[in-house]
Amino acid sequence: MNKLSRAAIVFFAVVIIGSIFSALIPPMQSPDENDHVKRAYLLSVLSHTVTEPGLSTGGYFDDALQQYQVLMFQALSTKPDARMSAETAKAAADIRWAKVRHYVDMAGAAPYFPLGYLPQAVGLRIGQTLNLGVGASYRLARATTLLSVAVIIAYAFTIFPPNALVICLLALPMTMFQMSSASADGMSFAWTILAASLFRRGMERDAPFPLRWSALLILSVFMIATSRPQLIAIVALPCVVFFFRRDRRALIASVIAAAAALGWILYGTSHTVDLRWTRAVTSKQVVSFYLHHPVELIEIIWRTVSNPAISSSYYHQFVGVLGWLDRPMAPVTYPVAGAALVVTLALAFSRRVGAVERAVPVLVALSAVLLTFVALLMTWTALPAEVIIGIQGRYFTAPAILAAYALSSRSTGEKRNLATLIVCGAFITFSVSMTASTLLWKYYL
């Protein structure tokens, strides 16, 4: 099978499966999707975030968008027994753009680089320009995001073929659910796959590495770092590639991009006021405390990850607890997914991977996991505390994808390819059917 055929198959598979799920998932049912859609709306009208005195950072949004989001949230979100009714669907479809804007907070997505929401913004802008309803514009935002994700993933797979574990991670119910929504996760997964593919190809130092790939590698890590700050270490990928390829210009460009990403993160976090969670102490005080008590930092992280209930919730959310983490899958899903992850990890592992190619993605992934715990400790956890709160299983998907690319080489044997096809095909079939049935039972029946 040539690269074009492989890309076409991947593209249409992502689009078809994602379209099915997008049709089944009610609006605004991904965690924090409301804030991500607001961020995209600001970009669609070429506006920016602001902070009103005494309020969390936000912006000026069309009244109809706020009405639509409130309607869908109150009808379904965090209400596991609620179902999508014909009355709610009709009320949502009747909401038209008001073209009158008022201030609404949006602290959850305010620190992120706005161009990361370009696909969603394009869909919303098309809907506004054609004078469609808010609901139709939102569906367009989902569609443009899904198409963008499919294009990036399909292209990445032509650069470096995915191993069995990468495919399994993409087929997890939670991953497919997020890729079918209008949140930022789908694009961050796609950019991660592209960055990892380009890194592995770039480390083949005797093979050509076109200028467009150099630019895409730098762009992809910048987009990841500025939309998922816990993955800031990913900026090391192009630096490592161009250092070993002795490409001084590209290395300088990578360093500049890394500095720009770090600068945006510092700017975004310092200019964002988030009053959703109030504590008796400030983040600066928490940072100061743990800097002076590093043993306490290690102990609270250990207490968190070693807590059976917490680690179990991470795993279940990683595999799939849909909606606003209120719609769990059928119990059989979790052991089957665990078995698939173990089998595909074994299928993916190859000894023909260099030490640097193996170590760098794994270290970046581990740093992302550690920074996730530290970030939630500094921002969402009280002081003193027994465990870190606020961490969701889906936060580990992008690091897992990155680490998975450290396992395999580009060339594999026919027997392993056949085993990969069988195992991944079986799991994709299982996962798609379980996800579709869960959406039907949890939202409609």
Cβ atoms of 146 and 15 within 8 Å: the answer is yes
- CA gap 150, 214 in Å, rounded: 21
Give residue 373's pLDDT.
Answer: 96
Strands (E) across 32-108 are located at 58-62, 101-105
Residue 409 pLDDT grade (very low, low, confident, very high; cuts 50, 70, 90): confident
Backbone φ and ψ for 80, nearest 5 degrees, come out as -60, -20
- Domain containing residue 295: 3-443
CA-nearest of 19, 144, 132 to 68 is 132
- CA gap 82, 64 in Å, rounded: 23
For residue 183, is pLDDT > 80?
A: yes
- CA gap 23, 183 in Å, rounded: 15
Cβ atoms of 438 and 400 within 8 Å: the answer is no
Number of folded domains that form the chain: 1
CA-nearest of 203, 169, 150, 167 to 361 is 203
CA-nearest of 347, 342, 346 to 412 is 347
For residue 2, is pLDDT > 80?
A: no
Q: Which string of DSSP letters, residue by residue, matches 29-45?
A: -STTHHHHHHHHHHHHT
pLDDT in tens, 236-289: 999 999 999 999 999 999 999 999 999 999 999 989 988 887 777 777 888 889
3-state secondary structure of 61: strand
Sole residue written with tokens 């069995």 = 164
pLDDT in tens, 50-89: 999 989 999 999 999 999 999 999 999 989 999 999 999 9
Burial of 228 (0-12, 13-18, 19+ CB in 10 A): buried
- CA gap 149, 188 in Å, rounded: 9
For residue 143, is pLDDT > 80?
A: yes
DSSP label of 182:
S
pLDDT in tens, 377-403: 988 888 888 999 999 999 999 999 999
- CA gap 36, 361 in Å, rounded: 27
Cβ atoms of 163 and 407 within 8 Å: the answer is yes
CB atoms under 10 Å from CB of 271, counted, come to 13
The mean pLDDT value for 19-23 works out to 97
Residue type at position 268: G
CA-nearest of 7, 355, 368 to 203 is 355
- CA gap 37, 392 in Å, rounded: 20
Cβ atoms of 103 and 124 within 8 Å: the answer is no
| Count of residues in the chain | 445
Cβ atoms of 59 and 106 within 8 Å: the answer is yes
Give residue 1's pLDDT.
Answer: 65
Give residue 283's pLDDT.
Answer: 79
Cβ atoms of 343 and 373 within 8 Å: the answer is no
169 in the Ramachandran plot: left (φ > 0), alpha (ψ -120 to 50) or beta?
Answer: alpha
- CA gap 272, 329 in Å, rounded: 35
Report the chain's mean pLDDT, rounded to a whole number.
94
